[in-house]
Amino acid sequence: MAQMDTTSVPIPSRGQRIFLLGAAPSLTNGQMSSAKQDVDGVPSAKKLQSTGQNSGNQVIAYGLLKTVQFDAVSWDTRIGPERVNAEYDVVVIAAANFLHTGFDFANMATFIEATKLPCVMIGVGAQSKDYSTDIALMPGTDRLMRVVAERSGLIGARGPFTAAVLARMGIHNVQVTGCPSYYMGAKPHLEIRKPPLTTESRLLVNSSRDVVSHSFDREHMIAIVRGILATAIERGADFVAQSELPEITIADSIDAAEIERNLNEILKNFPAYREVAPFDELFAWFSRHMRVFWDVSTWYEAMKRYDFVFGNRFHGAMIALQAGTPACVICHDSRTSEMCEFLHLPHVGLKDVDKVNVESLYDAVDPSAIQARYRQLYPQYKKFLKLNGLHPVLE
């Protein structure tokens, strides 16, 4: 099982008082400290809920805070907007795929409106099956984007598609930055190793069944998700779960009965997995190879032990690349495609993958292209932070 602690980002010696909305960097109660928090006894469902239903969201906020100076930071909304207004200097929003038909951010909009603070939103993304910029946003989400646009110098968008969606809304103070997790190393270079891939190479996969419903091609996505699992079992790979509770519960558990219950739940909701292997073989593999990380620094260190990471989770690939490990994303919708394309990260489109082939995915990794794009974007991100009144710690 994965080790779980909440080692916090070291607090820089000077900077602003930041109130963080959106993604949170750890499972603490909203304050950074040097103490570790024991989360082993916390139910998996509660831990997942605290991450916004995706442990990968922690990577976004962690990466953002690694790049700016601050004297204090909190994400405890229970203190209310009046205290935030009095005790903090700026509201910083670690954003994800906010521009989606199913999301309503009315509560966040109301919270920000109740303060008089400037706002900085970084990493906002649009999610669409067909790249149409005419996304029917919920009223609360529309209101959020407009209040943030009024209170910020520039909004940081994940890619050109998101910028086009915002432009259609009449919001033009936008810079395409990618995701803040891309800059979490806070150094002007990103080094990726790429040794020869062999049968002895240690592999890690990441995948989610829930991406099927919003992928470019539902039936093809089912086949690819099934293929990722089949390849993982065949190659003895480990699997990092990020967003689905049954997989996460298995990763957290050592109880055979609990593992069996959750595996049956997985097979009930995704019967395509039954085609991969008999139940006993699936049970044995799920018991040994499922992982989950509740702390970004632990996740980062673990990625150094692998030779190649692949799957359909963007932040699962991002944290591997940050650790210097080759990684490739199988892009299933606009949110993953636009980030990978803009950042020049290794990826293949869903329509270009007939079946999961480890060697072909590994061939897509070009460390020199990754490094060249990073050197180009790094100083632009630094300027973006300064234009928004933040103090970067980027070298």
Whether residue 256 is contained in a domain is answered as yes
Q: Mind listing the pLDDT tens digit for each residue in 229-266?
A: 999 999 999 999 999 999 999 999 999 999 999 999 99
Indicate whether 214 and 357 sit together in one domain.
yes
- Burial of 153 (C-beta count, 10 Å sphere; 0-12/13-18/19+): middle
Whether residue 197 is contained in a domain is answered as no
Q: Which of 173, 96, 104 is nearest to 137 (CA)?
A: 104
Whether residue 194 is contained in a domain is answered as no
Domain count, the chain: 2
- Residue 130 confidence (pLDDT): 75
Indicate whether 143 and 248 sit together in one domain.
no
Indicate whether 177 and 31 sit together in one domain.
yes
Indicate whether 34 and 174 sit together in one domain.
yes
156: number of Cβ within 10 Å: 25
Indicate whether 91 and 129 sit together in one domain.
yes
The CA distance from 306 to 220, in Å, is 28
Q: Which residues pair with 204 in a beta bridge?
A: 238, 309
- Residue 221's alpha-carbon distances to 71, 140, 252, 297, 311, in angstroms, are 45, 31, 27, 31, 12
Whether residue 10 is contained in a domain is answered as no
The CA distance from 60 to 25, in Å, is 7
- Residue 34 confidence (pLDDT): 39
Indicate whether 67 and 116 sit together in one domain.
yes
Whether residue 156 is contained in a domain is answered as yes
Pair of tokens at residue 359: 């060697």
Indicate whether 154 and 225 sit together in one domain.
no
Percent of the chain, pLDDT > 70?
93
Whether residue 392 is contained in a domain is answered as no
Q: Mind listing the pLDDT tens digit for each residue in 76-96?
A: 999 999 999 999 999 999 999
pLDDT band at 3 (very low <50, low <70, confident <90, very high): very low
Domain CATH code at residue 262: 3.40.50
Indicate whether 29 and 160 sit together in one domain.
yes
**Reported pTM:** 0.91
Indicate whether 230 and 260 sit together in one domain.
yes
**What is the domain range of residue 138?**
16-188+375-387
Indicate whether 214 and 130 sit together in one domain.
no
pLDDT of 270 above 50: yes
Indicate whether 252 and 281 sit together in one domain.
yes
Indicate whether 227 and 125 sit together in one domain.
no
pLDDT band at 15 (very low <50, low <70, confident <90, very high): low
